[in-house]
């Protein structure tokens, strides 16, 4: 179970998240030795003060949840977030550019964030529920070309979350060159193990405690 804990980005990305809720998130992450807390940029400074010297990382989201912002703005936000204490960046790609087949633009968008992250882990959110299999494959190739570290299924805020099929396809495409993060709808131990068996190396979930057997089913927020 300890190994399973390190797969988990303990996540709270709801727009109405309070300081009290963020404090609870960070305490739970430290107590359970999760890989990271994943939260919106406005909460990084607080999380940094709470995480302290713990081995739990601080993950934040860029261009979230639509991915439709300017690449330069995504890069600028990435630098600000790192200065505040984030050490992992989950960015949303330009989904419209994927749908248009403008994969050079997609690659450039990712590359700007990777460069701004200065070696920190960058996870590229594809929003697989909006893409065809061919588009998922090409988006993964763009992430590879841009030298990201992970491809990630979902924001958890669109029409669907992670599926075993999408995780398998992503892992088949990137092989050992990138890791895969499954997020959105991972709410139980069974869900978690299915995603890991499909190829996921990280799980984004707000149901972390339920997954590791610490409490009943959590909220349906992510």
Per-residue pLDDT of the chain (222 residues; tens, 9 = 90+): 569 999 999 999 999 999 999 999 999 999 999 999 999 999 999 999 999 999 999 999 999 999 999 999 999 999 999 999 999 999 999 999 999 999 999 999 999 999 999 999 999 999 999 999 999 999 999 999 999 999 999 999 999 999 999 999 999 999 999 999 999 999 999 999 999 999 999 999 999 999 999 764 444 445
Rounded to two decimals, the pTM is: 0.95
Of residues 74, 123, 171, 181, which has the active-site annotation?
181
Note if 181 is an active site residue: yes
Q: What is the pLDDT of residues 137-157, one digit of tens each?
A: 999 999 999 999 999 999 999
The answer to whether the beta carbons of residues 13 and 222 sit under 8 Å apart is yes
Give me the residues paired with residue 152 across strands: 125, 181
Spatial CA neighbour of 74 closest among 96, 99, 91: 91
For residues 153 and 114, the answer to whether their CB atoms sit within 8 Å is no
CA–CA distances in Å: residue 212 to residues 23, 27, 147: 20, 15, 32
Active-site entry in 109, 152, 171, 191 = 152
Residue-range domains of the chain with CATH? 2-211 (3.20.20.70)
Q: Which of 90, 109, 123, 171 is catalytic?
A: 90
**CB-CB neighbours of 164 under 10 Å:** 15
Distance separating alpha carbons of residues 42 and 216, to the nearest angstrom:
29
Q: What is the DSSP string of 77-89?
A: HHHHHHHHT--EE
């Amino acid at each position: 179970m300890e190994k399973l804990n390190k797969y988990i980005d303990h996540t709270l990305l709801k727009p109405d998240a309070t300081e009290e809720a963020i404090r609870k998130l960070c305490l739970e992450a430290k107590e359970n030795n999760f890989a990271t807390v994943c939260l919106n940029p406005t909460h990084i400074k607080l999380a940094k003060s709470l995480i302290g010297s713990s081995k739990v990382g601080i993950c934040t989201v860029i261009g979230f949840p639509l991915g439709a912002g300017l690449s330069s703005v995504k890069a600028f936000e990435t630098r600000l977030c790192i200065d505040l204490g984030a050490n992992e960046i989950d960015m949303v790609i330009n989904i419209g550019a994927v749908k248009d087949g403008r994969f050079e633009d997609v690659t450039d968008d990712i590359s700007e964030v990777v460069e701004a992250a200065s070696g920190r882990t960058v996870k590229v959110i594809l929003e697989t529920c909006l893409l065809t299999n061919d588009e998922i494959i090409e988006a993964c190739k763009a992430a590879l070309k841009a030298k990201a570290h992970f491809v990630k299924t979902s924001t958890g805020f669109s029409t669907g979350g992670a599926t075993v099929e999408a995780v398998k396809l992503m892992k088949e495409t990137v092989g050992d060159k990138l890791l895969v993060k499954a997020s959105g709808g991972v709410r139980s131990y069974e869900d978690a193990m299915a995603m890991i068996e499909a190829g996921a190396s990280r799980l984004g979930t707000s149901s972390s405690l339920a997954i590791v057997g610490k409490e009943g089913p959590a909220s349906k927020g992510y």
